[in-house]
Structure 1
Amino acid sequence: MSKATDLKQGIREHLGQFSLHVLLVFLTGLTIGSERAVVPVLGEDVLGVESFLVIGSFVVSFGIVKSILNLYAGKWGEEYGRKPVLVAGWATALPLPLVLIFAPSWGWITVGNVLLGVNQALTWSMAINAKIDLAGPDQRGLAVGIDESFGYTGLAVGAWITGVIAARTNLRPEPFYFLAAVVVLAFLVSIFLIRETVQYAQAEGDDDDRDANLPFRAVVKRATYGDRTLFAAAQAGHVENFVDTLFWIAVPLYLTSQGLGIDAVGLVVGVHSAMYFSQIGTGGLADRIGRRPPVVAGMFLAGGGVLGMALVEGFLPWAALAAASGLGMALLYPNLMTVPSDAAHPTWRSAGMGVYRMWRDSGYAVGAIVIGLSMEVVSAEAAFYVTAVLMFLSGAVVFVWMEETHPEFGTHEPPAPAPESAPGVVPED
């Protein structure tokens, strides 16, 4: 692989393109946020769905598709570049507002969320990889923190705006006019303003390193179970998405059942997601103190916030605990993602991130089933208890097994490569 060694990395050096990718990840967050407060209530009040497990099916379809496409988005990003994958992701989202507006039954919503899963996998995967490409190793945590901050701030704003629109008009079609405008804008920006960044990753690595150019199958094994630290990160990412799923399915239905209006529900969900904006600080913090401490703290804080929401009543206590769980997520979310970024060789970093994101986002599907069954069989509160306990157990695995991966003062050492992963082997599909 040829390298352009004169390519300079750094957020300041590439502020224009970096800022455009920040805008795009904000629009990615707006896209998924536009469903958060409205769609579960739409299923119950407009489409007549009574089963919590059936309502959760739209998150199951989303999670399965997004997790699989995350895996291949990373692979395709290495092979074809970041921009083509990004454009394809936004093209996929163009029909989504029409599906949500005209869906005659809940099955159409579930199928429509397949489009959302493809969109989120391709666009968010490429947004984060492009930022890492441009920022370089010294600002990797900050770049991931900025990415996740603006993405989840977009999610919060999308949930709040569509909740307000729905409260003042109808559950549909008006909230999804806003979604249509977001998707079209992002599609146009991706086509006409974004430039390719994969060359910066290619220039960063040493092809003679023993860890360079791992086959795709070897990357999947390494990032899943071949490295104990990466396993700890993958399982934590999987379980922490139960919290995100809880706020997508259970929180809106639970709070409305407690008498809270749809606009207030959108605000509680939005407050939780708005705390993700602090990932700018938590990602930068991890560049100074390491990845492991904020991840461990975040797992327990997020779990504690979720547990507390089932034990209190009233808008202000719910909002405060939603904010606490959001802060916990802000501590763990970007820094879990930085762990495989630290541990991967630049020649397969995008693929390694894809494996982590596959396991993380399969948590949407598994979480939707677990949470839906808890609500269906026991009670809405049970979903909060189950999610909190799983967060505590997963945090304990991180505490025991995860080594520090920060390149300056990390303790993590990659395992010796297996014979099939020797440099020069043609990657397997």
Structure 2
Amino acid sequence: MTQTRQVLDVTNPPRNRFGIALLGYAFAAIMVGTTMPTPMYALYAERMHFSVLTTTVIYATYVVGVLAALLLFGRWSDAIGRRPVLLAGAASALASAAVFLVADSIPVLLIARVLSGLSAGVFTGTATAAIIEAAPPAWRGRAAAIATVANMGGLGLGPLVAGVLVQYAPHPLQLSFLVHIALTVLAVVAVLAAPETSARAGRIGVQRLSVPPQTRAVFAVASTAAFAGFAVTGLFAAVAPSFVSGLLGIDNLAVAGAAASVVFAGSAGAQLFAGRIPPARAVALGCAILVVAMLMLAVSLHAASLPWLIVSAVIAGAGQGISFARGLAAVSERTPAERRAEVSSTYFVVAYVAISIPVIGVGLAAQTWGLKTAGETFSIAVAVLSALCLVAVLLQERRQPQN
């Protein structure tokens, strides 16, 4: 009887009508907290007397937690179940919010960001898998899109909600995190109410990173495109408020939060419609869009134009969403099934490194050249990198029939 039930669990993971909605809410609620600090960095900088460089370092510290979660705990949910891992991620999110509530120094902010990164790293893989597994058969094709909307939607709502609260509500450095604690408590309830979908068939271990020879050419181009796209989202999430206040002269933090939010909205929307495009062609399209967006961003910074900044963010998000999601599909197509987990993890590591190192580079450049020149230089560099990826994809497509 026990063996029979285990087989049923593997072939027909438990589902209920609300499981996918509960997990989707939990995913979005956790991701909200990872971008909530964005509109607050200006206030932290004013009170703690630090520069744009320090802002970028604080933001980028988040990646330490994400990578630790992906590499150290990425395989745990296969072994012990989705629910325990998701609860651990929620606990990390609660800890992050609690630390932000009492943050009074740069080291405390760094700790809070690492904890936030841990929560995001845990949820990114585990919640996506749980949502797909919990989906009824008729929804299986839409489950990945639901996970995408939950992920990017949460990231986009974070700075938008926090910007409004910081600008118009009392206790600007505390209220947003109290809201996130409430959202996370509800996320814990949602995870407990949702079905456990894992067969617990894997084993605990560190996630290996590697790319097999037959995948390397496609991986090199797709991961470079992902690097360019994630560098842009990192720029907006970390430095958009500085652009809005320092270059455009707008001190309204709700506007700053909206400027950071729209890049994620563009990414989510584009990913929903990109699934029908062949992967290689989609990567080329995403790179082309990024080139246009970066040129528009450079113009917006040079002309100090808020409308151009917002439009460039939406377009950049679309380019990032298309190139990242379909780039992963292109890599998966060329990867043997038994190697996809490690190759996908390698792809994610490249992407998440991109939201840290380039952004810190912008902070360093801002100290030497000024924020305007640093932003323009970043825009041109990403445009060039995206153009090179576009050329590489077209060359690979031209050679493909000969193979």
> What interval of TM-score do these two structures reach, taking the shorter chain for normalisation?
0.7 to 0.9
Change (3 A) 1:301 1:362: same
Are residue 376 (structure 1) and residue 367 (structure 2) matched? yes
What TM-score comes out, normalization by structure 1 length? 0.78
Kept in 2, the 8 Å contact 1:59–1:113? The answer is yes
Per-residue CA shift, 1:335-372, capped at 9, x if unaligned? 23334444555555444332221221111221222121
User: Given residue 73 of structure 1, which amino acid in structure 2 is its aligned partner?
Assistant: F
User: Given residue 30 of structure 2, which amino acid in structure 1 is its aligned partner?
Assistant: T
Change (3 A) 1:84 1:138: same
Q: CA deviation at 1:262?
A: 1.0
Are residue 334 (structure 1) and residue 322 (structure 2) matched? no
Which residues of 2 match residues 307-346 of structure 1 at below 5 A?
307-312=295-300, 313-345=304-336
Query: Counterpart of 2:33?
Result: 31
Decide which of 272, 282, 285 is 1:294's aligned counterpart: 282
Change (3 A) 1:295 1:159: same
CA distance in 1, matches of 2:79, 2:227: 26
Per-residue CA shift, 1:298-327, capped at 9, x if unaligned? 233234323323323333232222222222
Per-residue CA shift, 1:67-88, capped at 9, x if unaligned? 2322333333444343332221
Q: CA deviation at 1:164?
A: 0.8
Kept in 1, the 8 Å contact 2:29–2:183? The answer is yes
CA distance in 2, matches of 1:340, 1:194: 31
Query: Counterpart of 2:224?
Result: 235
CA distance in 1, matches of 2:165, 2:234: 23
Kept in 2, the 8 Å contact 1:28–1:124? The answer is no
Q: CA deviation at 1:230?
A: 2.1
Change (3 A) 1:134 1:237: farther
CA-atom RMSD in angstroms = 3.5
**Could you list the runs of 5+ residues in structure 2 that have no partner in the other structure?**
1-5
Change (3 A) 1:293 1:176: same
CA distance in 2, matches of 1:231, 1:143: 28
**Could you list the runs of 5+ residues in structure 1 that have no partner in the other structure?**
203-212, 405-410, 413-429
CA distance in 1, matches of 2:139, 2:393: 22
User: Given residue 238 of structure 2, which amino acid in structure 1 is its aligned partner?
Assistant: I
Instruction: Give the percent of matched residue pairs that are identical in Structure 1 and Structure 2.
Output: 18
Change (3 A) 1:134 1:170: closer
Kept in 1, the 8 Å contact 2:225–2:283? The answer is no
* Greater RCO (CA < 8 Å, at least 6 residues apart): 1
Aligned length: 385
Change (3 A) 1:114 1:70: same
Per-residue CA shift, 1:183-204, capped at 9, x if unaligned? 22222322342412357x99xx
Are residue 122 (structure 1) and residue 122 (structure 2) matched? yes
SS of the residue corresponding to residue 59 of structure 1 reads helix
CA distance in 2, matches of 1:228, 1:44: 43
Q: CA deviation at 1:134?
A: 5.5
User: Given residue 279 of structure 2, which amino acid in structure 1 is its aligned partner?
Assistant: R
Change (3 A) 1:251 1:15: same
Single out whichever of 229-238 and 85-94 deviates more from structure 2: 229-238
Per-residue CA shift, 1:27-77, capped at 9, x if unaligned? 133112312222x2122222221x221121112211133123223333334
What TM-score comes out, normalization by structure 2 length? 0.82
Decide which of 208, 214, 221 is 2:210's aligned counterpart: 221
Q: CA deviation at 1:274?
A: 2.0
Query: Counterpart of 1:195?
Result: 196
Are residue 259 (structure 1) and residue 263 (structure 2) matched? no
Q: CA deviation at 1:170?
A: 4.0
Change (3 A) 1:393 1:64: farther
User: Given residue 153 of structure 1, which amino acid in structure 2 is its aligned partner?
Assistant: G
The structure whose residues are more often helix, as a share, is 2
